[in-house]
Amino acid sequence: MLLVDQDLELPELLRRVVQTAVDLVGARYGALGVLDAQRTGLSEFVTVGMDEEAVTAIGTLPQGKGILGQLIEDPRPLRLEDLHEHDASVGFPPGHPPMNTFLGVPVLVRGEVFGNLYLSEKVGAEEFSEVDENVVSALALTAGLAIDKARLYARMRELTLTEERERIARNLHDTVIQRLFAVGLALQGAARLLDRPEALERLQDSIDDLDETIRQIRTTIFAISRPRGVAGGGLRSDILEVTDEAAGRLGLEVHVDFDGPIDSAVGVETADHLLVTIREAISNVVRHARASSVEVDLMVEGDSLVLRVADDGVGIDPSAAASGGRGLANLSERAKLLGGRCDVTPRPEGGTELAWHVKLLR
């Protein structure tokens, strides 16, 4: 009951439930299997009593077959003196410790089976008793309350984080960007008063830096305010998902910059070609460039869309860029379908830049 009053993360809560069950009835081994979304197998399996060597030797976690599957199909308490004699028994994988006595009960959350609590090897007796079954069943009921609270706590925390991200995004947009705009306008006004070319050049550099900062802040706003794990988050969201995947799975440092009404101005056909192009361009960087970072810039200019993908890799020979491979040919064909072109050139500072110019199509 004390677990119900604690704000525990779900994995820690499940482990504590299993440990409590083992302690209450004197079992050598305990586990809690969480049902998968289809409710036909197990998505998680929390164990107590096995050392790391045994867990490593077993390898793959149980999938909910045999005796474990029996409880999934028929979620009622099951008490066995020798689990091997049950009709549903399928034996154990190599490396599994020997187990004979067995007690299993379902764990219900809001009237639905969340998972099953399994206990094996009663210490000091030949089998688990009816009293053991009643005690573990009562524990399972209380565990259901604690699990329900833990999941609610996690949802509330995620909601709070989402609200906080939205608040930060609003503050950045309404306060920081507006102030930067005001500073930029003031500097542009001051530029007209300068006579010295070098002073005017330095001031223009500062104005350009402000414009770049505003674009980066806007990118941050869309990154922190876009829906997490929700479909239909807009084209910006889809692009960031593609680049996030590249950053996470491919080990690249990816910088993304948006300029203009990306979500509202880019039509469905153009968006489909654009996402494929970004994936292919980043994939080319991974395969050929030996780069550590990539810049992805997307800008809407009038009725045109400009995508720039630049890396800091080994660069590309101009003749190779002109001939290109199948991947670059595909990108050029997609650009032509949208009334545009695709150019690949070496960067003066090293690396390669791909520029993809197309017309905005609805």
Parse the chain into domains and list their residue ranges: 2-156, 230-362
Helix and strand numbers (H, E) in the chain are 11, 10
Q: What angle do CA 28, 104, 133 make, to 5 degrees?
A: 85
Q: Which two tokens stand for residue 272?
A: 């489909």
| Beta pairing class for 293-301 and 253-259 | parallel
Is 2-156 a domain of CATH 3.30.450.90? no
SS3 258: strand
| Mean pLDDT (whole number) for 120-137 | 94
Q: What is the pLDDT of residue 27?
A: 96
Backbone angles phi, psi at 231, to 5 degrees: -70, 155
Which is higher by pLDDT, 131 or 253? 131
Q: What is the pLDDT of residue 228?
A: 47
Q: What is the pLDDT of residue 233?
A: 57
Question: Using H for helix, E for strand and C for coil, what is the string for 18-76?
Answer: HHHHHHHHCEEEEEEEEECCCCCCEEEEEEECCCHHHHHHHCCCCCCCHHHHHHHHCCC
pLDDT tens digits for range 207-240: 877 777 776 676 666 656 555 444 445 788 888 8
Question: Which of 238-247, 252-261, 277-286 shows the lowest mean pLDDT across its residues?
Answer: 238-247
Q: Are 13 and 154 in contact (CB under 8 A)?
A: no
Q: Are 128 and 119 in contact (CB under 8 A)?
A: yes
pLDDT tens digits for range 147-176: 888 888 878 877 777 777 777 777 776 677
SS3 224: helix
Is the per-residue pLDDT at 323 higher than 60?
Answer: no
Closest CA to 96 of 104, 84, 85: 84
pLDDT tens digits for range 295-314: 999 999 888 999 999 999 88
Is the per-residue pLDDT at 65 higher than 90?
Answer: no
Is 230-362 a domain of CATH 3.40.50.920? no
pLDDT band at 326 (very low <50, low <70, confident <90, very high): low
* Mean pLDDT over each residue of the chain, to the nearest integer: 82
pLDDT tens digits for range 4-41: 666 667 888 888 889 999 999 999 999 998 888 777 77
pLDDT tens digits for range 179-203: 777 787 778 778 777 778 888 888 8
Is the per-residue pLDDT at 353 higher than 90?
Answer: yes
